Amino acid sequence: MAQIIESIPNISEGRRQDVIGACADAVRGVPGCTVLDVQSDASHNRSVITYIGDAKAVEDATIALAAKAAELIDLNHHTGEHPRVGATDVIPFVPIRDCSMEDCVELSKRVGRRMADELHIPVFLYEESASRPERRNLADVRKGGFEGMAEKVMKDEWEPDFGGRTVHRTAGVSVVGARKPLVAFNWDLDTDDVRIAKNIAHVIREKDGGLKDVKALGLLIEDKETGRKFAQVSCNMCDCNVTPLYRVTEMIKSEAARYGVRVTNTELVGLTPAKFLINAAEYYLQLKDFDDSQVLESHLL
Amino acid sequence: MAQIIESIPNISEGRRQDVIGACADAVRGVPGCTVLDVQSDASHNRSVITYIGDAKAVEDATIALAAKAAELIDLNHHTGEHPRVGATDVIPFVPIRDCSMEDCVELSKRVGRRMADELHIPVFLYEESASRPERRNLADVRKGGFEGMAEKVMKDEWEPDFGGRTVHRTAGVSVVGARKPLVAFNWDLDTDDVRIAKNIAHVIREKDGGLKDVKALGLLIEDKETGRKFAQVSCNMCDCNVTPLYRVTEMIKSEAARYGVRVTNTELVGLTPAKFLINAAEYYLQLKDFDDSQVLESHLL
């Protein structure tokens, strides 16, 4: 049973395939590290590289990735809608197997220290690794973006955790930390009235008094093939052990029903641990006394 | 990526723990073989031992198990409700990973040959390994039981595939073959009228014109703790790729509704590959464009 840590860095390049490929290859070049997925978004000008390995392999791969991104990406010439502060913008570490959250926190601190020392990129620790409460939330750390960072780090409360107050001229700063597995999940509605999706998002998200560990937005989506527009509830499920997929699904269906609206389909974005889907099967099939060890593959890992 | 074959032999002993333990230990003694589960049923006087490994490990473990069972179990003194023909009654091989059905058929023939040569136990091949159509179905091969076997093997059409016509004096014969993963699943109803469960079983099972690859029985179950009696639809799902769990569940709910009866809960017996549960989540969550590679663990095996 080998230790498995997942890392999902976001780099600030979603258009130049040679740059994205070189960054992914930097990860692939580290023995014991496996790249699972590379997803690029041209309009956000941003890519997500997913890889797994043990703590040492993931540490080395992350440094190699950050070095390559710093070499090839200049944020002074970056355009894109998504907020960002660094060439390697955010680096989450997620415990998957034979690994505690504390192991991932320690890993994030080693990576932060090395990025500062070896690459001269200041690092903020966030989420479970945060050194102060106001740094837990990524959006708060990233507020002001690359353009506002030189000024922000001069504030008393925003000195980076590693690397001092000199923002890297082209690569900015990075936000590094440990977090639970995040599941990105969307619910499409049979309406083009985005207000309905926004109302549902408002009801279900934790911030406004809804379900714990759920972040939600109401969006209007245009199907690229058909041109058809439809409303979507787009969620980040930050802890499916606390708020499982089925509960959000049933609440969205129930809230949509008051408008005479139905869920037409859902979408899982990226990867999820099997247990979060099996948990939905357990609910809908009304399984009693189910045990994870009844899943054949649980004995193979 | 190592090859994984699952074997689930049924031995004709469900009461003497020392015998059951010795048989499981015979499997554990073979390097590369992992015992996942040992389930015994005292009233059936029968145990199911589940193990996995590559073809060579599973072959050696199965021979070691059959030798130990033949040494310790005498069918002349066996009592129990369940039909049986051998000390090691039936030996299925199931392809799980990096393995074709044909690989498992070949494995079953090697095991059958060795049981005949080394242990003097005649063997019938069944299911995917069957040498004739009338030997595919286990119930047909087993018909007549241990007591009727000496006479049965003398018939033209019932000469064993290996080992000739001399039934082993104490260990009987064995039925060996390759098959798809079988999922044993029960649906409990909020009624004690077993006729309703029998009617539903009749409607859903393939034999009577229902769903493909589904075997079903209606049973009256007594809860051992509370003494409460309830009707149950008990199924063997012989190919969940063809008829998935959700479809049977929805059909049972719909048939039960005509009697004003509901499913109170369900039960998975033993093990299942993760994909059959994930498939249910896919249906009930209305997942669109879901791909197995979105399951994190699919990259770890």
pLDDT tens digits along A119-133: 999 999 999 999 999
B270 close to A (CB below 8 A): yes
pLDDT score, position A186: 95
Q: Report residue A4 CA to chain centroid gap.
A: 17
Q: What is the mean pLDDT of chain A?
A: 95
Catalytic residues of B: 82
Strand, helix or coil for residue B133? helix
Average pLDDT of the residues in A218-242: 93
- The answer to whether the Cβ–Cβ distance between B278 and A277 falls below 8 Å is yes
Residue A2 has pLDDT above 90, yes or no: no
Residue A145 has pLDDT above 80, yes or no: yes
Interface test with A, best of B5, B277, B279, B290 (most A CBs within 10 A): B277
- The answer to whether the Cβ–Cβ distance between B245 and A271 falls below 8 Å is no
C-alpha count within 13 angstroms, C-beta hemisphere, residue B288: 10
Q: Which residues of A touch B52 (CB under 8 A)?
A: 296, 299-300
DSSP secondary structure, B43-58, as one string: TTTEEEEEEEE-HHHH
pLDDT over 70 for what percent of chain B?
Answer: 99
Q: Which residues of B touch A295 (CB under 8 A)?
A: 271-274, 277
Average pLDDT of the residues in B169-198: 96
A223 close to B (CB below 8 A): no
Annotated active-site residue in A44, A82, A120, A202: A82
How is residue A295 written in tokens?
A: 């899943």
pLDDT score, position A98: 86
Average pLDDT of the residues in B88-98: 94
Q: Among all residues of chain A, which has the CA nearest to that of B270? A: A294
Q: Quote the CA–CA distance of B107 and B101 in Å, as a whole number.
A: 10
Nearest to A47 by CA among A35, A58, A59, A55: A35
pLDDT score, position B53: 94
- The answer to whether the Cβ–Cβ distance between B285 and A282 falls below 8 Å is no
Q: Which residues of B touch A28 (CB under 8 A)?
A: none
User: Nearest-CA distance from B39 to chain A in Å?
Assistant: 13
User: Nearest-CA distance from A65 to chain B in Å?
Assistant: 21
Q: Among all residues of chain A, which has the CA nearest to that of B287? A: A266
Q: Report residue A53 CA to chain centroid gap.
A: 18
B280 or B300, which is more confident: B280
Residue A22 has pLDDT above 90, yes or no: yes
H/E stretch holding A194? helix A194-204
User: Nearest-CA distance from B271 to chain A in Å?
Assistant: 4
Q: Which residues of A touch B284 (CB under 8 A)?
A: 246, 280-281, 284
B223 close to A (CB below 8 A): no
- The answer to whether the Cβ–Cβ distance between A246 and B284 falls below 8 Å is yes
For the range B136-144, what are the long-range contacts, defined as Cβ-Cβ under 8 Å and sequence gap of 24 or more?
Answer: B138/B90, B138/B175, B139/B83, B141/B85, B141/B175, B142/B83, B142/B84, B142/B85, B142/B89, B142/B90, B142/B175, B143/B83, B144/B85
Residue B102 has pLDDT above 90, yes or no: yes
pLDDT score, position B301: 60
Average pLDDT of the residues in B267-275: 91
Q: First-to-last CA distance in chain A? A: 6
Q: Quote the CA–CA distance of A55 and B107 in Å, as a whole number.
A: 40
Task: Please report which confidence band the pLDDT of residue A301 belongs to, taking 50, 70 and 90 as the band edges.
Answer: low
| Beta-carbon pairs below 8 A across chains A and B | 126
User: Nearest-CA distance from B24 to chain A in Å?
Assistant: 17
Does the model's pTM come out above 0.95?
no
Q: Which residues of A touch B6 (CB under 8 A)?
A: 296
Q: Among all residues of chain B, which has the CA nearest to that of A266? A: B287
One-letter identity of residue B166: T
How is residue B198 written in tokens?
A: 């029998």
Average pLDDT of the residues in A165-172: 97
- The answer to whether the Cβ–Cβ distance between B267 and A246 falls below 8 Å is no
User: Nearest-CA distance from A270 to chain B in Å?
Assistant: 6
Strand, helix or coil for residue A220? strand
pLDDT over 90 for what percent of chain B?
Answer: 87
Nearest to A75 by CA among A147, A136, A8, A27: A147
B196 or A293, which is more confident: B196
pLDDT over 90 for what percent of chain A?
Answer: 87
Q: Is A299 a catalytic residue?
A: no
A137 close to B (CB below 8 A): no
Q: Which residues of A touch B96 (CB under 8 A)?
A: 296
Which of B96, B286, B296 lies closest to A273 in CB terms?
A: B296
**DSSP assignment letter at B247:** H
pLDDT score, position A82: 77
A274 close to B (CB below 8 A): yes
Residue A1 has pLDDT above 70, yes or no: no
Give the burial class of B87: count Cβ atoms within 10 A of its Cβ; 0-12 exposed, 13-18 middle, 19 or more buried: buried
One-letter identity of residue A151: E
Question: Is ipTM > 0.90 here?
Answer: no
pLDDT digits (tens, 9 = 90+) for A85-136: 999 999 999 998 889 999 999 999 999 999 999 999 999 999 999 999 999 9
The CA distances from residue B45 to A124, A278, B14, in Å, are 64, 33, 4
B96 close to A (CB below 8 A): yes
A42 close to B (CB below 8 A): no
Average pLDDT of the residues in B273-280: 95
User: Nearest-CA distance from A265 to chain B in Å?
Assistant: 5
Q: Quote the CA–CA distance of A254 and A260 in Å, as a whole number.
A: 10
How is residue A218 written in tokens?
A: 């109401």
**DSSP assignment letter at A162:** B
How is residue B35 written in tokens?
A: 């015992």
Q: Are A45 and A12 in contact (CB under 8 A)?
A: yes
Which of A245, A284, A288 lies closest to B267 in CB terms?
A: A288
